[in-house]
Amino acid sequence: MKEYFSQKGFTLVELLVAIAVLTILTISFTTFFGWSITSIFEDGQKSKAVAEAEKKLEKLYFSMDGYDSDSEYVSNPENVETYQNRDMNFSVEEANVEGVDGYNVTVVVFYQDGERHVTLSSFIEGE
């Protein structure tokens, strides 16, 4: 009686190649998703910073009274983007735009411990 051996299945080399390909794909996707999560987190912080800057601009738009006594006020506009261990700086310069008196207001909000910042500027009509 003859016995027939079936040669079904994968060889050791084929298995090693398949494992190597799967490992490379897994590492690639893990790196991509890790980067995506970091990017989403950083964008969230930036969005919060923009919202804080807009909030400050709105507050100044409705009332410029006493802005120079605010703890976040920077008298020299050249220093407004200098991190001073606080989350926000703003500067105000008197301006005349097309015959309208007012103020050029610049608000800078820092995030990631001062490593990054957003800057918003606006003209606010004077009284």
Per-residue pLDDT tens for 46-58? Answer: 999 999 999 999 9
Print burial letters for 92-101: b (CB count within 10 Å at least 16), e (below 16).
Answer: beeeeeeeee
- pLDDT greater at residue 23 or residue 64: 23
Please report, as a single letter, which amino acid is at residue 13: V
Amino acid 107: pLDDT: 95
User: Tokens standing for 42?
Assistant: 């950083």
**Which of 122, 75, 77, 76 lies closest to 103, judged by CA?**
122
The pLDDT-based confidence of 63 (bands split at 50, 70, 90) is: confident
pTM score of the predicted model: 0.72
d(CA 43, CA 122): 23
Average pLDDT score over residue span 28-35: 85
